Amino acid sequence: MDTVVSHVQNPREEKKPVGGLHYVSPVKNVKKLINPQIFEQNVLILVNNIMDKTKSKFIKVRCNDCENEQVLFDRATTPVSCHICGSKLAIPAGGKAKIKGKVLEVIE
């Protein structure tokens, strides 16, 4: 004998076997329950809020040894070396990197 475990019994919903029982999902398609236009607006608002909150920037740094100017990420997760002389320009520090050269400008 088959037992149906469900909050909403709908004969059109697909039954998925779980153990010896059949499970009927109470919500098959979430998008059908939400107005698609409101759903898309909410997604756009979330994406825009996330993009506005990024605090990381690219910076132009001058090497202390050879005066070479180089653009690097202020939250580097790997050590950044000068392309010319090989001295360290940035050392990762768990969040923002420690910048060893002179910061010339912040690139937005």
Complete domains list, the chain, with CATH: 4-52 (no CATH), 58-107 (2.20.25.100)
pTM of the model: 0.51
Look at 85 and 54; give whichever has higher pLDDT: 85
Task: Give the C-alpha separation, 17 to 2, whole Å.
Answer: 10
Give phi and psi for 50, each to the nearest 5: -65, -45
pLDDT for res 10: 55
Look at 51 and 67; give whichever has higher pLDDT: 67
Look at 61 and 47; give whichever has higher pLDDT: 61
Contact 89, 105 (CB under 8 A): no
pLDDT for res 66: 93
Look at 99 and 14; give whichever has higher pLDDT: 99
Task: Give the C-alpha separation, 84 to 56, whole Å.
Answer: 25
pLDDT for res 55: 78
